[in-house]
Amino acid sequence: MTASKTRGIGFTSQRTRDRMIERLRAQGVQDETVLAAMATVPRHLFVDEALASRAYEDMALPIGFEQTISQPVVVAVMIAALRRGREGKLGKVLEIGTGCGYQAAVLAQVSAEVYSMERISGLLERARANLRELRLRDLRLAYGDGANGLPEAAPFDAIILAASTPEVPAALKAQLAVGGRLIAPLIVKPGSGAANSEQTLYLLERTSTGWSEQWLDAVRFVPLRAGKQ
Ligand code: SAH
What is the full per-residue pLDDT of the chain (229 aa) written as tens digits? Answer: 444 444 445 666 889 999 999 999 999 999 999 999 999 999 999 998 889 989 999 999 999 999 999 999 999 999 999 999 998 999 999 999 999 999 999 999 999 999 999 999 999 999 999 999 999 999 999 999 999 999 999 999 999 999 999 999 999 999 999 999 999 999 998 887 656 789 999 999 999 999 999 999 999 999 999 999 9
**Ligand 1: does its nearest atom lie under 6 Å from the Cβ of 43?**
no
Q: Looking at the CA of residue 224, tell me the nearest atom of ligand 1.
A: 19
Residue 192: which of 147, 151, 169, 223 has the closest Cα? 223
The model carries a pTM of 0.94
Q: Please give the class, per CATH, of domain 3-219.
A: alpha beta
pLDDT at 196: 77
**Ligand 1: does its nearest atom lie under 6 Å from the Cβ of 127?**
no
pLDDT at 181: 98
CA of 187 to the centre of ligand 1 (A): 15
What residues contact residue 212 under an 8 Å CB cut-off, 6+ apart? 204, 205
Domain-wise residue ranges, the chain = 3-219
CA of 161 to the centre of ligand 1 (A): 8
Query: What b/e string do you get for 140-161 counting C-beta neighbours within 10 Å, with b at 16 or more?
Result: ebbeebbbebbeeebbbbbbbb
pLDDT at 191: 81
